[in-house]
């Protein structure tokens, strides 16, 4: 158990819909990262938050947004869903906001868009 | 950006065999981690190893940062070692290689 909690574990929805994925980091960790794992793209970095502020942005679509709340949990919002958004979405946390901290991953949220 | 290449892409072993997985990266990094993704999709931390050598049971890893590569050794492999092994490096964000898919046969 990494200490990072993600909900829901599985989600099935239809094209055009909107979903919210939730992540609670390990106790004391200030950084939260979101990753997408799809069959054709591998593990892709989406976005990082550190202590409530956006720290780095990767290949995140404009239809996607995220935030980190004062209690440090984070949510990833996916809207106008397309079939290609079906993937495993991981949240990770680390104590550091810098390049050198060790990341710990949650079990992922598997999204299926029909 | 930093490129991460893992080899081999696929590996089939008989139970009890040893193996070496390689990770090459194109630039200096402040962080390197090895993960095991099990058949259920979970990403499990194996090593945090920006440099040097570490051992954990049957697994060990060595990173030679000056030469920009890392090696993961698996000894006396077991069927539970099956899955995908990822190397990931951080120079701003954690960048994953494409992974080595390992299958250990009984």
Binned average pLDDT, 10 residues per bin, chain A of 114 residues? 94 98 96 92 92 92 97 97 97 83 93 97
Instruction: Give the C-alpha separation, B40 to B62, whole Å.
Output: 27
B79 close to A (CB below 8 A): no
CA dihedral over B16, B99, B84, A96, signed as positive or negative: positive
**pLDDT tens per residue across span B51-94:** 999 999 999 999 999 999 999 999 999 999 999 999 999 866 78
Most B CBs within 10 A among A11, A35, A42, A43, hence the mutation to make, goes to: A43
User: Which residues on B lie below 8 Å from A32 (Cβ)?
Assistant: none
């Amino acid at each position: 158990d990494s200490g990072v909690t993600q909900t829901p574990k599985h989600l099935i929805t239809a094209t055009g819909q909107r979903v919210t994925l939730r992540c609670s980091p390990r106790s004391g960790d200030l950084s939260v990262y979101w990753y997408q794992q799809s069959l054709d793209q591998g593990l892709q970095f989406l976005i990082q938050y550190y202590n409530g502020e956006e720290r780095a942005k990767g290949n995140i679509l404009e239809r996607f947004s995220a935030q980190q709340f004062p209690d440090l949990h984070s949510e990833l919002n996916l809207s106008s869903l397309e079939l290609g958004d079906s993937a495993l979405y991981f949240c990770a946390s680390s104590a550091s906001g810098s390049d050198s901290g060790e990341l710990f991953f949650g079990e992922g949220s598997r999204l299926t868009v029909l | 950006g930093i490129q991460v290449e893992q080899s081999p892409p696929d590996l089939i072993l008989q139970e009890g065999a040893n193996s070496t997985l390689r990770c090459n990266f194109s630039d200096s990094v402040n962080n390197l981690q090895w993960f095991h993704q099990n058949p259920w999709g979970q990403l499990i931390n194996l090593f945090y190893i920006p440099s040097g050598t570490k051992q954990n049971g049957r697994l060990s890893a060595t990173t030679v940062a000056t030469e920009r590569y890392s090696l993961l050794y698996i000894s006396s492999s077991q069927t539970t070692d099956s899955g995908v092994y990822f190397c990931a490096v951080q120079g701003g964000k954690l960048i994953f290689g494409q992974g080595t898919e390992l299958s250990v046969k009984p």
